[in-house]
Amino acid sequence: MTSRASHLAVATFAGTPFVRRKERNEMVAKCFFGMMAAAMIVPLILIVGYIVVQGWPLLSWEFLTTNPRGGGVRGGVWSALIGTLYLVGFSLLISAPIGVLAAVYLNEYARDNWFTRVVNLAVVNLAGVPSIVHGLFGLGAFVYFANLNEGKKSIIAAALTLAVMTLPVIIASTKEALSSVPVSFREACWNVGATRWQTIWRIVLPNSISGILTGVILQVSRTAGETAPVMLTGVTTWKMIESTGWLLYHPVKDQCMALSMHLYYIATQASGAPKALPFAIATVLVGAVVLVNATAIIFRIYLRSRKKW
C-alpha cells in the first residue's frame, strides 16, 4: 500500500516549482517521522551498549556458574540464574496449557454473544493489571489462602502468580495463531465426519503450532524479567544452592533467588559491590531475554517462509 501510494505521488511531469516544493515537503515529512522512530532505537542501542561495556570485565563462564559470595558482592550469579529458570519453567508449565485451551475455546467454540465478549474483556483487563497487584494477589491467594508452604513464600507460589500474569498474553497470541488457519481446513475435516475436538487436535493445532510456540517463547523473556510480583511471593535476596545435583531447589518448600531481584538488590541495597557487578548482572538478564526473543523471531521468520497457504 505504501509503494502504491509513492507511485501515485511521483507524477510524471516532474520539475515544475510546485512539484519540487511538494517533493521537498514529502522529504521533510519523511525525515520528521523517521526521526520519531529513530528516537526509540538510539536510546535502546546506547543503553544496552553501555550496560554491556560496563559489565564486560566481570563476565565469564565462572560468573554464571559460581554462587554469589560475601553478601552478593563477590562471586557469580548461579543461584539467581537457576532460580529464574525454575520460575520461568514452572510458570509456563502451568500457563501454556491453560492459555492454549482458553484460546481454543475463544476461537473454536465460543459463539459471538455477550458471554464471549465478557471473556474477551476479562482477557484484556487481566493483561492490564499492574504487576505489583499480581504480586499482592499471589501473596493473598497462593501464599496465605492456599497455604502452599505454611504461610511462607515459595517458588511454586511465585510460579503460579507469574502463570496468571502471562496467561492473557498467551491467550492473545494463540488466538491469533489459531485464527490464521483457514476455515476451509476445518470444513474439510468436519465434512469427513470428524468431531470438533478431532478437527482441533488433528488439523487446527498442528497447523498453528508454530505461531503458538512463538507466543509462548516470547513469554519466557517477559517472565524472566519480572521482579515486583515474585519478590512478594517467592523470591528472596539470599538463598544458596549446590552447584551440582539433580533438584537444585525444592519448588514447594524453597524460596529462590532470581536474576531480576538480584539486580535490584545489588543496585540499591548491597554495600561494597564493585561498580561493574550490577552492570554484569543486567547484561546477563538482558542477554538472556534478547537471546530468547531472537530465537522466537528467527523461528517466526523461518516458519512464515514455509507457510503453505
Residue 35, number of CB atoms within 10 A of its CB: 10
Decide if residue 133 touches another protein (CB under 8 A). yes
Maximal CA-CA distance, the chain: 82
**165-202 exposure pattern, b = at least 16 Cβ within 10 A, e = fewer:** bbbbbbbbbbbbbbbebeeeebeebeeeebeeeebbee
Decide if residue 134 touches another protein (CB under 8 A). yes
Report in angstroms how near the CB of residue 142 gets to another protein at its nearest: 9
> Which residues inside 147-186 make contact with another protein, applying CB under 8 A?
151, 164, 167-168, 171
Helix then strand count (H, E) for the chain reads 13, 2
Residue 30, number of CB atoms within 10 A of its CB: 10
Q: What residues contact 237, with CB distance under 8 A and at least 6 apart?
A: 72, 257, 261, 262, 265, 269
Q: Which of 14, 33, 93, 238 binds another protein (CB under 8 A)?
A: 33
Q: Which of 191, 268, 271, 305 binds another protein (CB under 8 A)?
A: 268
Decide if residue 34 touches another protein (CB under 8 A). yes
Q: How far is CA 172 from CA 99, 164, 195, 218, in A?
A: 9, 14, 25, 12
Report in angstroms how near the CB of residue 78 gets to another protein at its nearest: 19
Number of residues that bind another protein (CB under 8 A): 96
Q: Say how far apart CA 84 and CA 226 lie, in whole Å.
A: 10
261 grid coordinates: 531481584
Q: Which of 59, 157, 162, 231 binds another protein (CB under 8 A)?
A: 231
Q: Which stretch in 66-74, 175-183, 204-212, 259-267 sits in contact with another protein by CB under 8 A?
A: 259-267
Q: Which of 80, 81, 88, 123 binds another protein (CB under 8 A)?
A: 123
147 vs 243, beta carbon nearer another protein: 147
Q: Which of 52, 98, 203, 276 binds another protein (CB under 8 A)?
A: 98
The tally of CA atoms less than 13 A away on the side-chain side of residue 214 is 20
Q: Which stretch in 74-82, 105-113, 178-186, 249-257 sits in contact with another protein by CB under 8 A?
A: 105-113
> Which residues inside 45-84 make contact with another protein, applying CB under 8 A?
47-48, 50-51
Q: Which stretch in 68-76, 176-184, 240-248, 278-286 sits in contact with another protein by CB under 8 A?
A: 278-286
240 vs 297, beta carbon nearer another protein: 297
Q: Say how far apart CA 159 and CA 88 lie, in whole Å.
A: 7
